[in-house]
Chains A and B, each alone.
Chain A
Amino acid sequence: MDKERVHNLLFVGVVVVTGVVVENTYLLQVMTFIGINTLLALGLNMLMGYAGQVSLGHGAFYGIGAYATAYLSGTLGISPWLALVCAIFLAVGVAFVVGRPTLKLSGYYLGMGTLGFGMIVHILFREAGSITGGASGFVGIPMLTLGPLLFEGGQSYFYLVWAVVFGAIFLCRRILDSKTGRALAAIHGRENAAVALGVDAHSLKLTVFMFSAALGAVAGFLYAHFVLFISPDSFGFMASVKMVTMVVIGGMASVWGALIGAVVITLLPEVLHGFADHEMIVFGLILMGVMIVMPQGLTKGVMERYARYKKRA
């Protein structure tokens, strides 16, 4: 327990110090994106890693968060913070309506169902031009302010995003370290047995689905007010696949893993800058390679191998 607290403090400390020390706007921007991606990975990780349900359409919730706040605060002129609340409610509502029938499916059918849902939402973003600006995107998203504070790029936004990330990690921890978390682990391990013990698997999966949708919407909100311009392609199939890749890399079922996944997936395109065309190939190979060799995820797989190695030595 105490060791965990030390880790947490260390983590917060590192982030705070980074924000103070780093002055390069480009680096700050990259790290802000890492934060936003961590939120996405955290949410999907709850669903994939803990509840054991795959979703190939989570980009939709990311997009719903972004477009909801864009429309409400950009077009209608509502306070962005109010828009955030609406965005979360909208995403959770959509997750409820879609998740109820979809989460009854499993395996390939679940993959296809969530993929189809993601595609439909993506098409809606593209076609509902009067609200979303259509394929050319939405311009005119206001910057966030809080009292006298203006969150424009740079340091202030970095801190805002990471504060939200801390909050989300804290939330996930609390949920996992409770009766709900135990039940999740149970249905992931042996669904039949969990159900026979009275765990309502379907409603539990739905709860987690809605929770991860909410985190996705928050990430979308932060993304929209950061880049100030959004277009449907940021929330399409590739966005969903990127989210899955983050979770798979990070090692399913680990909160820190989500962070590692987000770091890798955000930095990879920056590192591969000269090879922009090869980005897709690299993503795909990572996904395939990790799943073939270490189906439990990269972080966990490496850690297990290391433990085995140490035991032998």
Chain B
Amino acid sequence: MEDLLQYLFSGISIGSVYAVVAIGLSMLYRSTELINFAHGEFAMFGAMGLVTLWGQLKLPLPLAFVLTVAGVSMVGILFERFAIRPVKDPHPISLVIITVGASIVFRGVAMVVWGKDPVAVPSFSSHGSIEIAGAVIVPQSLYIVAAALVLAGSLHLFFRYTLQGKAMTACAVNKKAAWLTGIPSSRMGLFAVLISSGSGAIAGIFIAPVTMNTYDMGTMLGLKGFCAAMIGGLGSLWGAFAGGLLLGILECFGAGLISSGCKDAIAFVLLLLILYLCPGGLFAQKQADRF
């Protein structure tokens, strides 16, 4: 019984990270119809940035946080400007290969900068862990869940209530019409990239204290984020959130009850099932046939 509760808590915690990654992917897709295979690398940069700025340079945590997010967003914008926008014929196959290429470049750069060995940072606070009915919760888990909720909540408010957010939704619904009403869709694209890479960085920052930070940690994070986004329906904010949680929980139960080795396989099996059976996501009213 304690075990099950423990799996649930761990699942919610790791699921929140997937949720944040998924939100980044999903929001980019919503505004630009681009799937960024290099998205996980933004999370990796986030974690690595924190390791350097907070763990090694000993900057205050809030400053390190802001600098890391700003830095990663900068990378995101450069990436959009120099790798995505110049593509003359934005066919999905070309974009898949370009973003996969970018992910390898990012990974290679990280390997050169941070080396091949895992690096660690301490938890954000030194509070002891909490025990509920025999299951242990480390404080970092709570921070992760809180971060995911705050991010999703503020994006929700942003899309609902600000002019910029509404304009982005309009762009997502119909590019041509948005263009006709004078919404500059290229600026919207840039903004979407900003949100996407920024939230990627946040995912990395919050997961850094509870994981082995390596140059190649982004691949799995990105793929699982994609899986989560697919579960929730690509382009949906709360869908991505729910998808992340669901994936995290399933994974932890799978790892606990079946074997820890097959933990990663769960996400991919789920991904394939979703792609085959309901590509519009679990919560979609009707099957979407975008492609």
- By the criterion CB–CB under 8 Å, are B35 and A112 in contact? yes
Contacts of B87 in A (CB 8 A): 291-292, 295
The interface-forming segment of B44-52, B61-69, B100-108, B174-182 is B100-108
The reply to whether A292 and B100 contact each other, CB–CB distance below 8 Å, is no
Given A241-B100, A285-B101, A107 and B219 contact (CB-CB distance below 8 Å): no
- Which residues does chain A contribute within 8 Å of B102, judged by CB atoms? 284, 288
Contacts of A116 in B (CB 8 A): 223, 227, 268-269, 271-272, 275
Is A96 engaged at the interface, CB distance under 8 Å to the other chain?
no
B109 within 8 A of A: yes
In the bound complex, residues from chain B placing their C-beta under 8 Å from that of A119 are 223, 264-265, 268
The yes or no answer to B186 lying at the interface (CB within 8 A) is no
Interface residues of A in 94-136 (CB under 8 A from B): 101-102, 104-109, 111-113, 115-117, 119-120, 123-124, 126-127
Decide if B112 touches A52 in the complex (CB within 8 Å).
no
Q: Chain A contact residues (Cβ within 8 angstroms of B): what range?
A: 35 or more
Question: Given A285-B101, A288-B102 in contact, is the A277-B272 Cβ separation under 8 Å?
Answer: no
**Closest A residue by C-beta to B38:** A284
B60 sits at the interface (CB 8 A):
no
Stretch from B89-97, B122-130, B197-205 at the A interface:
B89-97
- Which residue, A106, A109, A116, A279, has most C-beta atoms of chain B within 10 A? A116
Tell me, rounded to whole Å, the shortest Cβ–Cβ distance linking B50 to chain A.
23
- Which residues on B sit within 8 Å (CB–CB) of A102? 272, 275-276
Give the complex CA separation of A123 and B220 in angstroms. Answer: 12
Rounded to whole angstroms, the CA-CA distance of A281 and B112 in the bound complex is 9
Q: Which residues of B contact A107 (CB under 8 A)?
A: 92-93, 96, 291
Task: Please determine whether B111 and A277 come into contact, CB atoms closer than 8 angstroms.
Answer: yes
Query: A292-B86, A292-B87 given as contacts; is B112 within 8 A of A278 (CB)?
Result: yes
Contact A54 B101 (CB under 8 A): no
A127 to B261, CA, bound (A): 6
A116-B272, A244-B100, A291-B98 known; A54+B93 contact, CB < 8 A: yes
Whether B100 and A56, one on each chain, are in contact in the complex, defined by CB atoms closer than 8 angstroms, is yes
Residue A237 is within 8 A (CB to CB) of chain B in the complex: yes
A-B contacts at CB below 8 angstroms, number: 136
Q: Decide if B83 touches A288 in the complex (CB within 8 Å).
A: yes
B271, A112: Cβ atoms closer than 8 Å: yes
Query: Which chain B positions have C-beta within 8 A of A52?
Result: 93
Assess the A127–B262 pair: CB atoms within 8 A. Answer: yes
Which residues of B, 247-291, contact A by the 8 Å Cβ criterion?
259, 261-262, 264-265, 268-269, 271-272, 275-276, 279, 291
Q: How far is the CB of B200 from chain A (nearest CB, A)?
A: 17
User: Given the known A-B contacts A113-B272, A280-B104, A281-B108, are A244 and B97 also in contact in the complex, defined by CB atoms under 8 Å?
Assistant: yes
Partner of A281, one of B109, B264, B269, B276: B109
Residues of A within 8 A of B101 (CB): 283-288, 291
Please report the C-alpha to C-alpha distance between residue A52 and residue B269 in the assembled complex, in whole angstroms: 25
Q: Are A123 and B104 in touch, CB under 8 angstroms?
A: no
CA distance A277 to B105 in the complex (A): 11
Q: Which of A56-87 contact B (CB under 8 A)?
A: 56
- Which of B109, B226, B275 has the largest count of A CB atoms less than 10 A from its CB? B275
Secondary structure dominating the interface of B = helix
In the complex, what distance in Å separates the CA atom of A248 from the CA atom of B98?
Answer: 11
Among B189-233, those with CB < 8 Å from A are 219, 223, 226-227, 230
Closest to A236 in B: B219
Q: Hey, which chain A residues are within 8 Å of B103, CB to CB?
A: 284
Residues of A within 8 A of B187 (CB): none
A295 touching B100, Cβ below 8 Å: no
Query: How long is the Cα–Cα vector from A124 to B268 in the complex, in angstroms?
Result: 12
CA distance A238 to B83 in the complex (A): 21
CB distance from A22 to the nearest CB of B (A): 32
- Report the minimal beta-carbon distance from B156 to chain A, rounded to whole angstroms: 25
Which A residues between 229 and 268 are near B, CB-CB below 8 angstroms?
237-238, 241, 244, 248
Partner of A112, one of B91, B104, B226: B226
A241 contacts across to B, CB distance below 8 A: 100, 104
Assess the A287–B35 pair: CB atoms within 8 A: no
Q: A117, A279, A288: which contacts B98 (Cβ < 8 A)?
A: A288
Known: A105-B291, A288-B98. A117 touches B272 (CB 8 A): yes
- Contacts A113-B272, A277-B112, A291-B87 given; indicate if A108 touches B35 (C-beta within 8 A): yes
- Is B9 an interface position by the 8 A CB rule? no
Interface hits, B1-56 → A, CB 8 Å: 35, 37
Closest to B219 in A: A237
A109, A127, A285, most chain B CB atoms within 10 A = A109
Residues of chain B within 8 A of A106, CB atoms compared: 92, 291
| A127: B residues at CB distance < 8 A | 259, 261-262, 265
Least CB distance, B113 to chain A, in whole angstroms? 10
Residue of A nearest to B82 (CB): A292
**A287 CA / B227 CA spacing, docked (Å):** 24
* B291-A109 in contact (CB<8A): yes
Q: From B272, which residue of chain A is reached at the shortest CB distance?
A: A116
Determine if A280 and B107 form an interchain contact, defined as CB atoms under 8 angstroms apart. Answer: yes
Taking a contact as CB atoms closer than 8 A, the residue among A112, A120, A248, A277 that contacts B265 in the complex is: A120
A288 (CB) vs chain B CBs: closest residue: B101
A292-B97 Cα distance, complex, nearest whole Å:
10
What are 7 of the A-B contact pairs (CB < 8 Å)?
A101-B275, A127-B259, A279-B108, A283-B108, A286-B101, A287-B100, A291-B87
